[in-house]
Amino acid sequence: MRRHWPLAGAVGLGESVRIVFWAVTGRGYEDALITLTHAENAARGLGFVHHPQEGHVQGFTSALSALIPLAGELVHHGAGMATIKTVSLAAAAATIVYAYLIARRIGLAAWPTFFVVGYLALDYNQIIYAMGGMETQIAVAILLAGGYGLLPKCLLKR
């Protein structure tokens, strides 16, 4: 594990900061709450809508922001926001892991790698939006996973 200290340090730091932010602020962004209403209504059988009486109007940011809370709402009414925040915690770890793997693949040294993954661990925007119920962190994790998958194998560390 000594060899992977930048990864271990960044994941521990990133997860801790997000959990503390979630526990202390309890923040929920208005966009996340709008999408949550869609998920709650769908789970109740009213349709994937914000206001059932207004018809079928799409009012959410992305499929990620709507389907993840819907999964939580289908399991337990009122669990949508906690579900997307929990998935965002896992996505934060995945974001850091994929950034670390990219840094290793291109041959970045330990300290520059730590600065990259440390930035991702402590980036205020990713923390406040992810722990506010937005899909930001999940999208970043998916983008970095795709980027890592597209890197040619020939970029192996020298």
What average pLDDT does the segment 48-57 reach?
78
Q: From CA 31, how far away is CA 102, in angstroms rounded?
A: 32
Residue 118 has a pLDDT of 96
Residue 151 has a pLDDT of 85
Q: From CA 85, how far away is CA 154, in angstroms rounded?
A: 37
Q: Does residue 109 have a pLDDT over 90? A: yes
pTM: 0.88
Q: Which region holds residue 28: left if phi is over 0, alpha if psi is between -120 and 50, else beta?
A: beta
Q: From CA 52, how far away is CA 76, in angstroms rounded?
A: 21
Q: Does residue 53 have a pLDDT over 60? A: yes
Q: From CA 2, how far away is CA 17, in angstroms rounded?
A: 22
Q: Does residue 157 have a pLDDT over 60? A: no
Residue 110 has a pLDDT of 92
Within 10 angstroms of residue 142's Cβ, the number of other Cβ atoms is 16
Task: Give the long-range contacts of residues 89-93, CB within 8 A, separation 24 or more.
Answer: 89/15, 89/18, 89/19, 89/130, 91/130, 91/137, 91/138, 91/140, 91/141, 92/14, 92/15, 92/18, 92/120, 92/121, 92/126, 92/130, 92/137, 92/141, 93/11, 93/14, 93/15
Residue 38 has a pLDDT of 86
